[in-house]
Amino acid sequence: MKKKISLLTIVCLLLCVLCGCSETLSFVSFNDSIKEFDTSVFYGNVETMRGADPSLIYVAEKEGDPDSGYYYAYVTGTSTINAWRTKDMTNWQYLGAAFRPDLDTFWGYLNFWAPSVFFDETDNCYYMYFSASWTKKGTKTHYISLAKSNSPVGGFKAVYNQDSRGIIIDAPIIDFANVPKDNPLFEYRTSADDYENGYFGAIDAEPFVDPVDGQKYLVFTHDRSGGYNASSTYVMKMDDWQHPDYSTITCITECGKITVGGSETVFEGTVNEGPYMIYHEGLYYLTFSINSYDSPDYQVRQAVGHSPMGPFKKVSVEDGGVVITTDNINIYTNSSGHHSFIWVGDQLYLAYHTFLNDTDISESRKIRFDKVSFVTNDKGLPIIYANGPTVTLQPLPDKISGLHDYAGEAKITADNLADDGDVYWLNDGTLMMHENSVVKETRFKEGKSVITLTWDDYIAAKCLMIYNSRDYYSTFTCVDNVRLFYEKDAKTGVAETGRLDFNYDIFAAVDYKCAFAGASVSIEFNELKINKLEITISSSKGGNGFAVPEIAVLGRRA
Amino acid sequence: MKRKIVFALIVTCVMLILSSCGETFESFTYENEEPIPRATYDFTDADQMKLDGEKEACYGQKVYRLYNRNNTSSKVYMDCYIYFGKEGLHCFVDVKDNVLSYNSKRAVYYNSSVELFFNDWKKTYIDKSTCQYRIAAGGKSAQLCGVKGKSTYVTSYFDGQFAVRLDGELNSNNANGFSVETFIPWYELGYRPDAAGNYDVDGIMFYPAYNKVNDPQGRENYTSRIRTSRTYCFQATPYSWVPVKRTDNDSGENVSFENDFFGAVGGAESYYGFTDSGDGKVALRSGSSTSYAFVKDLSSNDCYFETTVENVAGDSSKLPKTGLAVFYMGNRVLLYIKTSDAKRVGIAQRDAANSEWNWTVEKGGTYINDTSKEPSEANYLKKVKLAVYRKGDLICFFVNDVLYFVSDGTDPDEDPVCKTADGVTLSPKFGKIYLHDTITEDGQEAEETIMGIWSASATATYSAYSACTGAAADAKFAQLLNL
């Protein structure tokens, strides 16, 4: 009898331990509104600033400088270059015109396009490349010039060249009439042309400093004006930011061709514009936009070379050449292009413009941001991949939030995987955003599936994001439960969230059966030391299995 | 005994549950920090006037009322008020319109919207300090500034702020209207403060316009509008705008010069871009892109005006032209000679429905080269007499006392014969023309027009001008045609 009683006691105790210690976590779910979230942890790509062709810089916090500690964004204007700034990538402050030339006297008065701003430590100045139409040569001409400022706020002042007598030349500083006439790229236009001899329409100037040898370059677009039907990308060495070495001018992309002068073709409409060059592990990446800016299919592509001067080879769509695109969806966002990159701490972000109206090409444009990573394609080539365009909340860069995504450091397992399911994609840091993405989602069969993340050491977790599929029918309708294995006050236990619904009303266009790529079930809670997570999901929208593109666990080192 | 044991076990379990699995997690909430201001400036309280679309008493009397189509019986109008602040210029406009059409996808001016232009006092040209606000009832806006040396504006940036207040619902046809309040700091209008921070402002030139859109559905692709600005008031000629003096915050004096013959008509601005040389001649000012001079107090539907023009010149790259003008409401008909061709005369029209000049007036009214003349006598640039006679819907244009063009209000395709109201058949040298928006509707009295001279970038000297109305005009007409 006594034995029976003792056994009963032990069973009861075990039951208590096993069942009674699972507790409900106190958390906030960002599931009710696309605009309401903790702005110290997330940004939303929702209420951003108006503008196009963004150029971003970060001005590090400096004691006593009220203009430091901000990210600055400079955007295209009609007769000015305008600027915004932010500290959290959600709340932006309009600075008005950072560059506002005196239109009564300045050589340009229209089409102040595509600024590129950078800080040059050697002379402690901010420089701004821009293009504009030259008043005396008509509104269809485009010339590149330079302005500088001591402050990121402005006002930037135009930089001028001087002639041999030291007299200021009232003209753009980049003048392709200086290209040596024996250079095959010197374009000697006939007098029948609308433009003067030697006119070489140029926009979208972007500086590049080769980290290998410090050589300065200017990458730019030879635009479609001046009788050209397609734009292309050029590069030239710069003696300094004001003086090009015109003899080095080289074409590095030809619209519609994989390589300049090559036979292999690629559909790009008539546009190769908005170039940007970055260096990564021995390779030079030239990114640029294709298709017309007012097309829903405006997007960013990439080419790779071994030198800033080329040759560059465009990466095909099949090999992951698309950096960012809306897939021509035109339902919740469209026309994602004309980009620039910005390092936020050690994370790379892409700034680009879409249209203010997310469902069609109308009204002004606005700026969005998304995280970028290098992924290796099937041919072993590292390529640039953007987790965008997103329209839902995303983690702020680590440097801003002070949090880090620790999912990538977890050992991850899952059951009930589909035949082609691969857990690799659950914590690789990427989101499958478009049809031709080399990045994939992890597919599961219909029915109860448990994803487990474990860490060798405890982390102080604060947020959990379970991303949902970009395919409407493969979205999971809810997360059944999340179990967090924690340690608190020298005790261990299991906290549970219970059911977390995916809100189709705000994360999908139900009428179009379209889920917003990059949407997630996300929760935030008080920091909790955990070393294991179990996520249970059972059902999909389509009833034929679901997919999870990524899991993020934001927190700090415990 | 068994019951006791079971009870003890239950108590134990409950205690274990309560003790080991009790409250573990503090409730989580978050609170976002106050966002940084949306803009670095904030003019909502400039000069202690709340920028909210409500009219403060200090605005005083209205400086101008702009009626839709300049029709003073219209129930659609815009009252404009100006206040000269210490920090900048405050403007308040109160629009009365029962249809407030708005679609954010349309350009500002294709919505029910106001256009407000501001320029320095008595400055005769536009430049970067000429500020323009376009503001729609739904809040969409654009800022523009003038381009010096041109007649255009370019989208630009200037410090400033505005507020819109609706009186009724957007996209309905039973609204009352809306009000717009703007503030522009003086420095954006080209003024510089003195050492004490004060701005020496005598007044401003103000040009209001209203875009009426009759689309209560707010359809996306609806691009029809009725744009009304003050009669004879154009965006690139600020001397023709509403002058508002600082002294009384009220309409100021006419800044245009007048002489005995040309001048104000019915209280409207008189002329600009011309200079009275004092010897019976009026010369165009050089550099004036568009110039008009109206026959003083000649407002009639039965009138005659003639003048002689000579020494016509101008930069050929600017397509200079000059000649006679007949003004309807929102509509201009011009008899012109063109400097690029000494033999060229023609009729052009800018009608109420078209913001572009129609230089080849539809159905036979194209310009002509007067090849019938010998070169020596056909050189209109040297000296030519131009005249216009209007009686009701009949408009006759004479060149050197010869009837060149006639419009009698009927379609030349249907009735190629020109006739006077008395049935007299006319034989214009270059045929009958058809003008838009000049025809009197049945049962209506013919609209009165004014007449004068004009120029687009051309220089010339006008002299021997005379005008008459009624029986005198009819007699002159009969005399010219030997009727």
pLDDT tens per residue across span A84-100:
999 999 899 999 999 99
- For residue B11, is it within any domain? no
Residues B139 and B55 in one domain: yes
- The whole-number pLDDT of residue B354 equals 52
- The whole-number pLDDT of residue A49 equals 83
- For residue B170, is it within any domain? yes
Average pLDDT over residues A143-168: 95
Residues B167 and B73 in one domain: yes
Neighbours of B481 (CB within 10 A): 17
Taking contacts as CB-CB distances below 8 angstroms, the residues of chain A near B127 are 103-104
- For residue B36, is it within any domain? no
Give the span between the Cα atoms of A471 and A213, in whole angstroms: 45
Q: Model confidence over A453-507: pLDDT tens digits? A: 999 999 999 999 999 999 999 999 999 999 999 999 999 999 999 999 999 999 9
Give the span between the Cα atoms of B228 and B95, in whole angstroms: 13
Inter-chain contact A362–B36, Cβ cutoff 8 Å?
no
Residues B240 and B282 in one domain: no
Continuous segment of H or E residues that includes residue B479? helix B470-481
Residues B335 and B236 in one domain: no
Q: Report whether pLDDT(A306) > 60.
A: yes
Identify the band that residue A12 occupies on the pLDDT scale cut at 50, 70 and 90.
very low
Taking contacts as CB-CB distances below 8 angstroms, the residues of chain A near B17 are 16, 20
Average pLDDT over residues B117-141: 91
Which residues 6+ apart lie within 8 Å of A505 measured at CB? none
Taking contacts as CB-CB distances below 8 angstroms, the residues of chain A near B156 are 77-80, 97, 103
Mean pLDDT of chain A: 91
Inter-chain contact B154–A94, Cβ cutoff 8 Å?
no
Residues B227 and B287 in one domain: no
Inter-chain contact A493–B21, Cβ cutoff 8 Å?
yes
Domain ranges of chain A: 22-36+404-557, 45-391
**Token pair of B17 as six digits:** 């549950």
CA dist A479 → A265, A461, A467, A496 (Å) = 45, 18, 11, 12
Residues B296 and B228 in one domain: no
Interface check for B17 against chain A (CB to CB < 8 A): the answer is: yes
Q: Report whether pLDDT(B369) > 80.
A: no
Answer with the one of B251, B266, B298 that is the final residue of a domain: B251
Inter-chain contact A363–B154, Cβ cutoff 8 Å?
no
Instruction: Specify the pTM.
Output: 0.79
Which one of A2, A10, A80 makes the best mutation probe of the B interface by having the most chain B beta carbons within 10 Å?
A80
Answer with the one of B196, B217, B251 that is the final residue of a domain: B251
Residues B342 and B282 in one domain: yes
Burial class of residue B371 in the structure, from the number of CB atoms within 10 Å of its CB (0-12 exposed, 13-18 middle, 19+ buried):
exposed
Residues A132, A109 contacting (CB under 8 angstroms): yes
Taking contacts as CB-CB distances below 8 angstroms, the residues of chain A near B154 are 78-79, 103, 109-110
Who has greater pLDDT, B34 or B434? B34
Residues A49, A94 contacting (CB under 8 angstroms): yes
Interface check for A93 against chain B (CB to CB < 8 A): the answer is: yes
Who has greater pLDDT, B83 or B328? B83
Q: Report whether pLDDT(B253) > 60.
A: no
Give the span between the Cα atoms of B163 and B186, in whole angstroms: 18
Residues B424 and B353 in one domain: yes
Weakest-pLDDT range from A176-180, A284-288, B273-277, B403-407? B273-277
Mean pLDDT of chain B: 82
Kindly provide the ipTM of the predicted complex, given to two decimals.
0.84
Q: Model confidence over B413-427: pLDDT tens digits? A: 788 888 888 889 999
Q: Report whether pLDDT(A103) > 70.
A: yes
Give the span between the Cα atoms of B371 and B369, in whole angstroms: 6
Please list the residues that pair with A236 across neighbouring strands.
A218
**Token pair of B411 as six digits:** 């379609």
- For residue B21, is it within any domain? no
The Cα diameter of chain A in Å comes to 114
- For residue B261, is it within any domain? no
Q: Report whether pLDDT(B343) > 80.
A: no
The topology under which CATH files domain A22-36+404-557 is: Jelly Rolls (2.60.120)
Q: Model confidence over A503-522: pLDDT tens digits? A: 999 999 999 999 999 999 99
> Domain range spanning residue B467?
274-481
- Position B8: which residue type? A
- The whole-number pLDDT of residue B308 equals 95
Give the span between the Cα atoms of A465 and A30, in whole angstroms: 10
Q: Report whether pLDDT(A225) > 80.
A: no
Q: Report whether pLDDT(B251) > 50.
A: no
Residues A323, A385 contacting (CB under 8 angstroms): yes
Q: Report whether pLDDT(B264) > 80.
A: no
Return residues 30-89 of A near B (CB < 8 Å). Answer: 38-40, 77-80, 82, 86-87
Residues B432 and B471 in one domain: yes
The candidate with the shortest Cα–Cα distance to A304, out of A407, A211, A219, A384, is A384
Average pLDDT over residues B456-470: 89
**Token pair of B86 as six digits:** 């210490």
Question: For the domain bounded by A45-391, which CATH number is listed?
Answer: 2.115.10.20
d(CA A210, nearest CA chain B) in Å: 36
Average pLDDT over residues A19-33: 82
- For residue B29, is it within any domain? no
Residues A551, A461 contacting (CB under 8 angstroms): no
Weakest-pLDDT range from A288-292, B212-216, B423-427? B423-427
Answer with the one of B183, B218, B251 that is the final residue of a domain: B251
Give the span between the Cα atoms of A220 and A131, in whole angstroms: 10
Indicate the residue of B26, B148, B156 with minimum beta-carbon distance to A78: B156
Q: Report whether pLDDT(A195) > 50.
A: no
- The whole-number pLDDT of residue B6 equals 57
Size of interface A-B (CB pairs under 8 A): 121
Taking contacts as CB-CB distances below 8 angstroms, the residues of chain B near A22 are 21
- The whole-number pLDDT of residue B434 equals 80
Inter-chain contact B38–A94, Cβ cutoff 8 Å?
yes
Please list the residues that pair with B265 across neighbouring strands.
B268
- For residue B461, is it within any domain? yes
Neighbours of B433 (CB within 10 A): 25
Identify the band that residue A16 occupies on the pLDDT scale cut at 50, 70 and 90.
very low
Residues B68 and B212 in one domain: yes
Inter-chain contact A78–B28, Cβ cutoff 8 Å?
no
Average pLDDT over residues B213-234: 88
Question: Mapped to the 3 state alphabet, what secondary structure does chain B carry?
Answer: CHHHHHHHHHHHHHHHHHHHCCCCCCCCCCCCCCCCCCECCCCCCHHHCCCCCCCCHHHCCCCEEEEHHHCCCCCCEEEEEEEECCCEEEEEEEEECCCCCCCCCCCHHHCCEEEEEEEECCCCCCCCCCEEEEEECCCCEEEEEECCCCCCEEECCCCCEEEEEEECCCCCCCCCEEEEEEEEEHHHHCCCCCCCCCCCCCEEEEEEEEEECCCCCCCCCCCCCEEEECCCCCCCCHHHCEEEECCCCEECCCCCCCCCCECCECCECCCECEEECCCCCEEECCCCCEEEEEEEEEEECEEEEEEEEEEEECCHHHCCEEEEEEEECCEEEEEEEECCCCCEEEEEEECCCCCCCECCECCCECCEECCCCCCCCCCCCCEEEEEEEEECCEEEEEECCEEEEEECCCCCCCCCCEECCCCCEECCCCCECCCCCCCCCCCCCCCCEEEEEEEEECEEEEEEEEEEEHHHHHHHHHHHHCC
Weakest-pLDDT range from B51-55, B177-181, B421-425? B421-425
Number of structural domains (chain B) is 2
- The whole-number pLDDT of residue A493 equals 95
**Token pair of A131 as six digits:** 């293009």
- Position A267: which residue type? F
Q: What is the CATH number of the domain that holds B287?
A: 2.60.120.560
Indicate the residue of B9, B30, B145 with minimum beta-carbon distance to A103: B145
Identify the band that residue B459 occupies on the pLDDT scale cut at 50, 70 and 90.
confident
